[in-house]
Amino acid sequence: MAWNEGYVSDIEYTNGFYSDLSPHHLNFSCILHGVEPVPLDQPYTYFELGFGRGQTLNVLAAANPNGQFYGNDFNPAHVAGARALAAKAQLDNLTLLENSFEELGQGRVPGLPQFDFITLHGIYTWVNRENRQHIVDFIARYLKPGGIVSLSYNAMPGWSSALPLQRLLLEFSNSFPGRSDLQIQAGIAYVQQLQNLQAGYITDNPALAPRLNALINSDPHYSVHEYLNQDWEPLYHTDVMRDVARAKLDFAGSADLPFAFPELYLNADRQATIDLLPDAAMRETMKDYFLDTSFRKDVLVRGARRMGAARQAECLADVHLVMLVPRAKMTFSFQTKVGVVTGNEQVYGAVCDALATGPHSLAELAALPSLPGQSMQSLAEVAAMLVTGGQVVMYFPDVAQSGSDDAAAHRLNRAIGAQLRYGDDYRILCSSLAGSGINMEFIDRLLFSLLTQEGEQPDLASLQAQAASAMARCGRRLLKDGAACDDEAAHQQLLNAAIDEFLREKLPVLQQLRML
């Protein structure tokens, strides 16, 4: 069989960052679900299976110098690109391997330690059954007792309406051999013809419409991997738990933090119906039937140790929050996978007012006069929603040292900034305080790179001139009325306004995140 074993390999995957793979986030998820986390205040080990372009792994390694990070991908282009970025940032705690799941699962890669964390994003349902077995073999062989696995995957029954769509695109591409991005584009055009001709599968299947619209507007680097893998197979949670049983994995909860609070998405009648089922995996699967889940983010633990209320409150008290957006732009309505959740204005407002003055722990928030009577559990729900909404990031302070360990994060940020002239592949910057990556718009990353370059800090006039020159080198223009602004004077005005907003609103946030 070919080295790619039916997996798309001629087109690289999208270059994304997945914050829910960070050790901090996974520990927070475990604590919310009452499961003991992995200690992060001592050296730990981490492996990402199928790291794709490697952006997540590079950022996590740079942001968490206390960890030793490893990962594999069998696509040599992915490995070469990830290694190049790691070399530019001089990350000595990152090992990037070009090995198959079979080689890893059979223990044929020398020098690997036991791991505290093993993560894989989406890949489990994109590969064939044999490779899924190799993945479980690897986990069984290398995960420490008490170690955490993040296993996200395409799930049933949410994919049920689109199974024929995937099969159509796969068979169409097999009928017209060629480069896979061209295959998917031709396949989408063919599906649009069926849509215009009111094919019964499409007209009689209203649940398909959102997925079809997303497909039509998708990046081919994503859609070829989502739809054209030969062994693509969404799975039920019960099937996954049967798969991983031989690795002694227990289900802890979801990396989607709101799912730690069932009252947000299950009414009493639905919960009672679920509780009739004696099997834990079946109860979790029944939630997917109520929610029509199409993607799960399971957090699994090898030997989950359940915490009592006192221990859970102690762990939650140590969770710290830092703002990602200015206080004036924070909102308390959150779009989640289960709909819009609106927080209590008084409670959320008091939390955000405190965070506007600097990072706070949940223990510090609970002691505020403006938050009387708030339990750790209620503040944890506020934290989970603000994190889910992308308005704050959480971290554990024992890991975020006084600043002595920021060097790797700063080197990675400079390396990412240097790539702006070549394109917009890296849309993330690194915060060692948060132990994670921070999504930023192109203009903000460009200004950040100018402010953090070696040499004397530019004054406002110099920053405006340097930004204009950098935009020209990158071939980028700001938008005016939805279109690229071609008038030089008008463009400089737009750029100056963006710089003013950055310095006024965004720079203080980046300083709190210890990125400058």
Q: Do residues 143 and 50 both lie within one domain?
A: yes
Domain end marker among 181, 212, 227: 227
Is 6 contained in some domain?
Answer: no
Q: Which of 288, 188, 252, 231 is nearest to 34 (CA)?
A: 252
Q: Do residues 119 and 137 both lie within one domain?
A: yes
Residue ranges, the chain, pLDDT below 70: 1-13, 398-404
Is 299 contained in some domain?
Answer: yes
Q: Do residues 304 and 325 both lie within one domain?
A: no
Q: Do residues 34 and 130 both lie within one domain?
A: yes
Is 4 contained in some domain?
Answer: no
Is 401 contained in some domain?
Answer: no
Question: CATH number of the domain that 74 lies in?
Answer: 3.40.50.150
CA distance linking residue 319 with residue 395, whole number of Å: 6
What's the domain count of the chain? 4
Q: How high is the pLDDT of residue 3?
A: 44
Q: Where are the beta strands (DSSP E) in 289-367?
A: 295-302, 320-323, 333-336, 339-342, 360-361
Q: Do residues 437 and 492 both lie within one domain?
A: yes
CB atoms within 10 A of CB 213: 10
Q: How high is the pLDDT of residue 127?
A: 95
Q: Where are the beta strands (DSSP E) in 440-506?
A: 479-480, 483-484
Q: How high is the pLDDT of residue 15?
A: 82
Is 10 contained in some domain?
Answer: no
Is 246 contained in some domain?
Answer: yes
Which residues have C-beta within 8 Å of that of residue 105, sequence separation ≥ 6? 133, 134, 135, 136, 137, 138, 141
Q: Do residues 174 and 142 both lie within one domain?
A: no
Tens digit of pLDDT for each residue in 248-306? Answer: 999 999 999 999 999 999 999 999 999 999 999 999 999 999 999 999 999 999 999 99
CB atoms within 10 A of CB 34: 18
Q: Which two tokens stand for residue 311?
A: 């221990």
CB atoms within 10 A of CB 272: 10
CA distance linking residue 257 with residue 25, whole number of Å: 9
Domain end marker among 350, 372, 395: 395
Q: Do residues 294 and 332 both lie within one domain?
A: no
Q: Do residues 34 and 127 both lie within one domain?
A: yes
Is 28 contained in some domain?
Answer: yes
Task: Give the pTM.
Answer: 0.95
Is 136 contained in some domain?
Answer: yes
Q: Do residues 138 and 257 both lie within one domain?
A: yes
Length of the chain: 516
Q: How high is the pLDDT of residue 455?
A: 74
| Full domain range(s) for residue 174 | 160-227
CA distance linking residue 60 with residue 356, whole number of Å: 26
Q: How high is the pLDDT of residue 9?
A: 54
CA distance linking residue 320 with residue 360, whole number of Å: 5
Domain end marker among 256, 274, 309: 309
Q: Do residues 145 and 54 both lie within one domain?
A: yes
256 burial class (0-12, 13-18, 19+ CB within 10 angstroms)? Answer: buried
Q: Do residues 138 and 188 both lie within one domain?
A: no
Q: Do residues 171 and 134 both lie within one domain?
A: no
Q: Which of 31, 33, 250, 18 is nearest to 149 (CA)?
A: 250
